[in-house]
Amino acid sequence: MNNKIETSIYLMPGMAASPKIFEFIKFPSNYKIIHLKWVKPKTNETIKSYAKRMSVFIIDVNPVLIGVSFGGILVQEISKHVKVKKLIIISSVKSKVELSLSMKFAKKTGIHRLLPLNWINDLEKLLLFVFGPSIKPRVDAYKKYLSERDPDYLKWSINQIVNWKQIEYDKNIIHIHGEKDKVFPLKYLERNKNLFIIKNGTHATILRDSKWFSKNLPLIINKS
């Protein structure tokens, strides 16, 4: 059996989430798996500047970058600083055009800046915000997947999402999305040959559909 490392996979979790969200995905033994973690943003730091800082953690040549939700936005920005073999986003968006109407409204009005900090300290509300309303019946089981609760980080993250400026994107991006995602609704996404829709999938599809990912991610990664 050949266990030679053939591909390096960097995994970036979603906003406030820990690398544990990938724990149920089984990768082939010849993949080198590297878990990226959120670092504290600097005051008034842009997503572009943050991505450049994060790019120093990508030490392998021609890796695969996989990002979930806000992590999907981040890996797209990181890929502008490092050459990648493949870029995969999950439960995310490829440009500001794909943001929901509520997020576009937040950008226009700045209402997201007025969010009270008490919702951040309410663990259930934070979990529902990060993983979507579909997890409500099992909210206690999802607590272990949160790693970041710093108010400054969370407000920064929300601000970067609603104010993301990207319009043009790499047409080779692989986009995997849940059919019933309510954070980034499917109806706003551009349909193309690289969009994979998971039937009945939600914004927490990375956790709830791990068997699909274990089976299909290697096929997607290895496809030329």
Half-sphere exposure of 26 (CA within 13 A, CB side): 4
Q: Residue for token digits 């050949």? A: 2
> Given this model, what pLDDT does residue 33 score?
97
Are the CB atoms for 110 and 104 separated by under 8 Å? no
* Rounded-to-integer distance, Cα 132 and Cα 184, Å: 10
Query: Which tens digits make up the pLDDT trace of 140-168?
Result: 777 888 887 788 898 899 899 999 999 99
Please give the biggest Cα pair distance in the chain.
58
For CA atoms 219, 176, 181, 190, the dihedral sign is negative
- Quote the CA–CA distance of 120 and 165 in Å, as a whole number: 26
Domain parsing of the chain, residue ranges = 7-222
Q: What is the pLDDT of residues 57-85, one digit of tens each?
A: 999 999 999 999 999 999 999 999 999 99
- Topology of 7-222 in CATH? Rossmann fold (3.40.50)
Residues of the chain with pLDDT under 70: 1-3, 5, 111-126, 129-130, 137
Note the helical H segments in 142-201. Answer: 151-162
Rounded to whole angstroms, how far apart are CA atoms 89 and 173?
A: 7
- The tally of CA atoms less than 13 A away on the side-chain side of residue 86 is 19
> What angle, 0 to 180 degrees and rounded to 10, lies between the N-to-C axes of helices 151-162 and 101-109?
110
Q: Is 144 helix (H, G, I), strand (E, B) or coil?
A: helix
Which among 141, 112, 136, 103 is positioned nearest to 203, based on CA atoms?
Answer: 136
